[in-house]
Amino acid sequence: MLEFLSQPWPWYTSGIVIAFVMVLLLFFGKSFGVSANLRTICSACGAGRNVKFFDFDWRAQTWNLLFLVGAVTGGFIAAEFLSNGEAVQISQATIQDLSALGISAPDGIQPEEIFSLEAAFTLKGFLILLLGGFAIGFGARYAGGCTSGHAISGLSNLQLPSLIAVIGFFIGGLATTWILLPLIF
């Protein structure tokens, strides 16, 4: 059983479980959206004193912070008990494209060139992660949600704004992939 679970899970398993998590939260009277936590964290750190956007009762969002605690724990359980340490099985075409950029084939879940601590503490590596994260935080709040809030919850409710946001996600993602990455690497 554990051996079976240790293999990578197929996409449909993941899609079904993500929909299940969304429904679970709906039946708990909440809505699925991870990036709202970033605003809650700002507020909990006292940002509401200077910026009105963070001046709200963040304690009412504790449930979502607990969801985050669960997500971190889930990652830990997957890594420690449900992993066979195999490399991500991405397509040969992607491996070739990335090797042209100087990023070696997968050896685990993440590329050494970005996620190893040696790489992360070079100026380039540090800025990739910091600015990438910055764009995610800024963009998610500007667009009013991220992949979970727009692509999953919003599209499920047939919201046109969410479709526009998802189109934006792809414009940005394609620009990074095809323009920025070749310039950076």
Contacts with another protein in 30-89 (CB under 8 A)?
Answer: 30-31, 34-35, 37-39, 41-42, 47, 50-54, 62-64, 66-79, 82-83, 88-89
Size, binding site for another protein by CB under 8 A = 127
Q: What are phi and psi of 152, to 5 degrees?
A: -95, -65
Interface with another protein includes 22 (CB under 8 A)?
yes
Interface with another protein includes 185 (CB under 8 A)?
no
Interface with another protein includes 14 (CB under 8 A)?
yes
Of residues 115 through 154, those in contact with another protein by CB under 8 A are 115-117, 119-120, 125-126, 128-144, 146-148, 150-154
Among 59, 94, 122, 124, binds another protein (CB under 8 A): 94
